Amino acid sequence: MKLKKNLAISETGFVFDPSTGDSYTLNTTGLEIIQMLREGKNPEIITRKMTKTYDVDANTFERYYYDFIGMLKQMQLVAPDEE
Amino acid sequence: MEKKVFERPVIKKLSAGMPAKFGLQVRHEPVTQIDGVPIKTLMEEYGSPLFVYSEKKIRQTYKEACRAFSSRYPNVLFAWSYKTNYLNAVCNVFHQEGAWAEVVSGFEYQKALVNGVSGDQIIFNGPDKSKEELELAVQNRSLIHIDHFDELYDLIEIGENSNIKPKVAIRVNMDTGIYPAWDRFGFNYENGEAWDALHRIMHADNLELLGLHTHIGTYIMGTEPYKIAASKLAELAIGLSSKFDHQLQYIDIGGGFASKNTLKGVYYPGTDTAPSFEDYADAITSVLIKANFRHNKLPLLILETGRALIDDAGYLAGTVIATKRLANGQRATILDAGVNLLFTSFWYDHDIRPAKPMSDQTEETAFFGPLCMNIDVIRKNMMYPLLKKGDPYVIQRVGAYNNTQWLQFITLRPNVVMIDEKGETHLIRKKETLQTLNKMESVPDHLKI
Amino acid sequence: MKNNKLTIAISGLNNVDSPGPGIPVIRGIRESKLFESRIIGLAYENLEPGPYMHEFVDKTYKVPYPSEGVEQVMERIEYIHELESVDVIIPNFDSEIYAFIRLADRLNRMGIRTFLPTLKQFEERHKSNLPQFGKTHGVKVPQSVAVTSFEEIEDLKRDEKIGFPLMVKGKFYDAYKAQNLEQAFIYFNRISARWGLPVVIQEFIKGTEVNVVALGDGNGQTIGAVPMRKQYITDKGKAWGGITLDEPSMLDFARHLISSTKWRGGIELELIRTPDNELYMIEINPRLPAWVYLAVAAGQNLPEAMVLLATGNDVLPFTDYEIGKMFIRYSFDMICDLSEFEKLSTLGEL
**A44 in reach of chain B (CB within 8 A):** no
**How many contacts (CB atoms, under 8 Å) link B and C?**
68
Query: Where does a domain end: B272, B294, B311?
Result: B311
Torsion of CA B324, B330, B334, B340, to 10 degrees: -150
* B221/B180 same-domain check: yes
Q: How far A49 CA lies from chain B's nearest CA (Å)?
A: 12
Q: pLDDT tens digits for B311-354?
A: 999 999 999 999 998 888 889 999 999 999 999 999 999 999 99
CA–CA dist C231, C210 (Å, integer): 10
Distance of CA B229 to the CA centre of its chain: 21
**Residue C19's CB: how many other CB atoms inside 10 A?**
21
| Helix A58-74 / helix A28-38 crossing angle, nearest 10 deg | 80
Chain C residue with minimum CA distance to A15: C342
pLDDT at B288 over 80: yes
CA–CA dist C294, C225 (Å, integer): 11
**Interface residues of chain B, partner chain C, Cβ below 8 Å:** 14-16, 18-20, 22-27, 179-180, 263, 265-269, 271-272
C14 vs B19: CB contact, 8 Å cut-off? yes
Taking a C-beta distance cutoff of 8 angstroms, is the pair B320, B388 a contact? yes
Please list every residue in chain C whose beta carbon sits closer than 8 Å to the beta carbon of residue A23.
338, 341-342, 345
In three-state secondary structure terms, C305 is helix
* B291/B365 same-domain check: no
Domain assignment present for residue B1? The answer is no
Please list every residue in chain C whose beta carbon sits closer than 8 Å to the beta carbon of residue B267.
67, 95, 171-172, 195-196
pLDDT at B56 over 50: yes
- B399-403: average pLDDT: 97
Number of independent structural domains in chain B: 2
CATH number for the domain harbouring residue B377: 2.40.37.10
Half-sphere exposure of residue B324: CA atoms within 13 angstroms, side-chain side: 7
Q: Which of B1, B3, B8, B333 to mutate to test the interface with A (most CBs of A within 10 A)?
A: B8
pLDDT of residue B294: 78
Q: Parallel, antiparallel, or unpaired: how do β-strands C59-62 and C88-90 relate?
A: unpaired
Domain assignment present for residue B28? The answer is no
CA–CA dist B157, C206 (Å, integer): 60
Q: What is the mean pLDDT of each run of 10 residues along chain C (350 residues)?
A: 82 88 96 95 92 96 89 92 96 90 95 95 85 90 85 79 85 83 88 80 90 96 95 80 93 95 95 91 93 97 97 94 94 91 88
Q: pLDDT tens digits for A12-68?
A: 889 999 988 889 989 999 999 999 999 989 999 999 999 999 999 999 999 999 999
Q: Rounded mean pLDDT of chain B? A: 92
- B260-278: average pLDDT: 88
CA–CA dist C281, C295 (Å, integer): 20
Listed residue (B338, B341, B386) closest to B364, CA to CA = B386
- Classify domain C206-328 by CATH number: 3.30.470.20
Q: Which of B10, B178, B179 to mutate to test the interface with C (most CBs of C within 10 A)?
A: B179
**Residue B326's CB: how many other CB atoms inside 10 A?**
11
- Classify domain C4-116+333-347 by CATH number: 3.40.50.20
Taking a C-beta distance cutoff of 8 angstroms, is the pair B398, B51 a contact? yes
* B295/B324 same-domain check: no
* B302/B317 same-domain check: no
Provide, rounded to the nearest whole percent, the portion of chain B with pLDDT above 70.
Answer: 96
Q: pLDDT tens digits for B89-142?
A: 999 999 999 999 999 999 999 999 999 999 999 999 999 999 999 999 999 999
CA–CA dist C133, C120 (Å, integer): 11
Q: What are the structural domain ranges in chain C?
A: 4-116+333-347, 146-200, 206-328
Taking a C-beta distance cutoff of 8 angstroms, is the pair B141, B123 a contact? no
Domain span at residue B75? Answer: 55-311
More confident residue, B57 or C239: B57
Please list every residue in chain B whose beta carbon sits closer than 8 Å to the beta carbon of residue A47.
none
Q: Which of C340, C342, C347 to mutate to test the interface with A (most CBs of A within 10 A)?
A: C342
More confident residue, B410 or B358: B410
